[in-house]
Structure 1
Amino acid sequence: MTVTEGDDLAHILVVDDDSRLRDLLTRFLSENGFRVTAAGDAADARRKLAAIEYDLIVLDVMMPGETGFELTRALRKTRELPILLLTAMGEVENRIEGLETGADDYLTKPFEPRELLLRIRTILRRTRSVPEVADAGNEVTFGPYSYDRTQGELTKGGQTVHLTESEALLLGCFAQVPGRTLSREDLVARNAVNGHERAVDVQINRLRRKIEKDPKFPRFLQTVRGKGYVLKATPPGT
């Protein structure tokens, strides 16, 4: 397996009604270091999008029922998820239409798999950048805290901060992707919270009481309205 900087842990949703191409893309992307979920049409994609937060969608344009263009327009109304369109239509007008729907990139079939890989990595480097987080190797720092992702240990001023097992699981999940918003559904899917999605808010509040000066006005573990939660950083010691 080949994993390159910027695409580790990236989860891609491949949507194509051609089962042969869908299987080939799933295998190829998996072999190149991505987590991959496949969907056979737009309806299937919508069900999967409702359950898990993805880093990017590779989306076929010409599908029975809702087309890739239509799904892209609908998604753009509610989220900023990167979308790479695949289509057999190579005319300039079609490429322009694809980009006007809000897609990040457009690739015409047939294509070279290595070009698809290059375009995916380019999109992810741009959309997954998190400059506000101090991330040095296995350590993620936010304010006076430092979290060791290998040991699963949180420290403040060199002193260990005691976390319950559930708090450690939750913080560890955010520390793996600092600066990215995780939905309640995604946290449950990643096993960061044991139980129903409604249990997420309870666990978030408990963790905030450990790391926030005022849990009602969090600086580090912030709420992203309508989307979920994100671990943000401030300069250490502030």
Structure 2
Amino acid sequence: MTGADPAAAAAPDTDDQPHVLVVDDDQRLRDLLRRYLAENGFRVTVAGDAAEARARLAAMHFDLLVLDVMMPGENGLELTRSLRSGSEMPILLLTAMGEAANRIAGLESGADDYLAKPFEPRELLLRMRTILRRGATAPTAAVALIQFGPFRFEPRRGELRRGATAVRLTQAETGLLRALAENPGTAVSREELADAIGIQGSVRTVDVQMTRLRRKVEADPRYPRYLQTVRGTGYVLIPD
């Protein structure tokens, strides 16, 4: 983090504010983020490591988790994978490793976004708001329900079901499926999909999100039946 906005005004602490859990072993950065985010309309709770974060998560509801990757003990990637087995809470990873391979590893672990250190606080704020907006904004698509194989997807609710069982999706996966469901049978480019789900950086990250989504809906993700690749373009959803 390279500095805070000195003009930011302190916002009142109310239950209507998004509640974010910031997890980082750097106390100075935790304190900076707590102050800056509070000044910009967030309720902020902090934790110094994964164990403390788990205690906070067990006791309170959070709208977003901002999580450092490189921590002693259980690191951020391990905690993300563990949380993803039972939670759809949005996760934004922070790390000093900004190479594409590291970013992809973060997304593959289940994170919704990835920001390399050092970062501008305004960029962090924008990314957090984008993630929260994706979860809160109802789609404008006219499609009310789309079926493919044993699955039923309702774009407006962002709900995927296999029979009577709900399939857990992250916000990024929901956005990806929603964008494809708005154009069933039609190829959607990676660039359009990246814009639809607010992915920053290389559109290669769309492929990572697609791999994760296929694991949840395809009998054999290597030979997808419903979420097919259109070479040179992007992806297409093949409904029944």
**TM-score scaled to structure 1, two decimals?**
0.52
Give the greater-gyration-radius structure (CA).
Answer: 1
Residue 68 of structure 1 aligns to which amino acid in structure 2?
A: G
Per-residue CA deviation, residues 52-76 of structure 1 (Å, 9 max, x unaligned), is 1100000000000000000000000
Look up the match of 1:24.
32
Look up the match of 2:149.
none
Identity of aligned residues (%): 72
Instruction: Specify which of 41, 45, 68 is matched with residue 49 of structure 2.
Output: 41
- How far, CA to CA, are the matches of 1:41 and 1:128 in structure 2? 29
Residue 98 of structure 1 aligns to which amino acid in structure 2?
A: G
Look up the match of 1:50.
58
Instruction: Specify the SS of the correspondent of 1:59.
Output: strand
Residue 109 of structure 2 aligns to which amino acid in structure 1?
A: T
Instruction: Specify the SS of the correspondent of 1:57.
Output: strand
Would you say the 8 A contact 2:25–2:71 is kept in 1? Answer: yes
Would you say the 8 A contact 1:69–1:101 is kept in 2? Answer: yes
CA-based RMSD of the aligned residues comes to 2.1
**What are the equivalent positions in structure 2 for 1:60-99 lying under 5 Å apart?**
60-99=68-107
Structure 1 gap ranges (5+) = 132-178, 180-223, 225-238
- How far, CA to CA, are the matches of 2:73 and 2:127 in structure 1? 27
Measured at CA, do residues 19 and 12 of structure 1 come closer, stay the same or move farther in structure 2, by a change above 3 Å? Answer: same
Aligned length: 130
Deviation at 1:85, TM superposition (A): 0.1
- How far, CA to CA, are the matches of 2:34 and 2:10 in structure 1? 15
Deviation at 1:127, TM superposition (A): 1.3
- How far, CA to CA, are the matches of 2:63 and 2:137 in structure 1? 12
Look up the match of 2:118.
110
- How far, CA to CA, are the matches of 2:16 and 2:122 in structure 1? 17
Instruction: Specify the SS of the correspondent of 2:115.
Output: strand
Per-residue CA deviation, residues 65-114 of structure 1 (Å, 9 max, x unaligned), is 00000000000000000000000001111000000011000000000000
- How far, CA to CA, are the matches of 2:109 and 2:41 in structure 1? 29
Deviation at 1:9, TM superposition (A): 1.4
Residue 61 of structure 2 aligns to which amino acid in structure 1?
A: E
Deviation at 1:128, TM superposition (A): 2.8
Deviation at 1:129, TM superposition (A): 3.5
Would you say the 8 A contact 1:11–1:34 is kept in 2? Answer: yes
Look up the match of 2:128.
120
- How far, CA to CA, are the matches of 1:74 and 1:114 in structure 2? 29
Structure 2 gap ranges (5+) = 1-8, 140-156, 158-165, 167-240
- How far, CA to CA, are the matches of 1:42 and 1:129 in structure 2? 30
**TM-score scaled to structure 2, two decimals?**
0.52
- How far, CA to CA, are the matches of 2:44 and 2:93 in structure 1? 16
Residue 48 of structure 1 aligns to which amino acid in structure 2?
A: R
Deviation at 1:2, TM superposition (A): 6.7
Q: Runs of 4 or more off by more than 3 Å in structure 1? A: none
Residue 57 of structure 2 aligns to which amino acid in structure 1?
A: L
Per-residue CA deviation, residues 27-70 of structure 1 (Å, 9 max, x unaligned), is 00000010000000000000000001100000000000000000
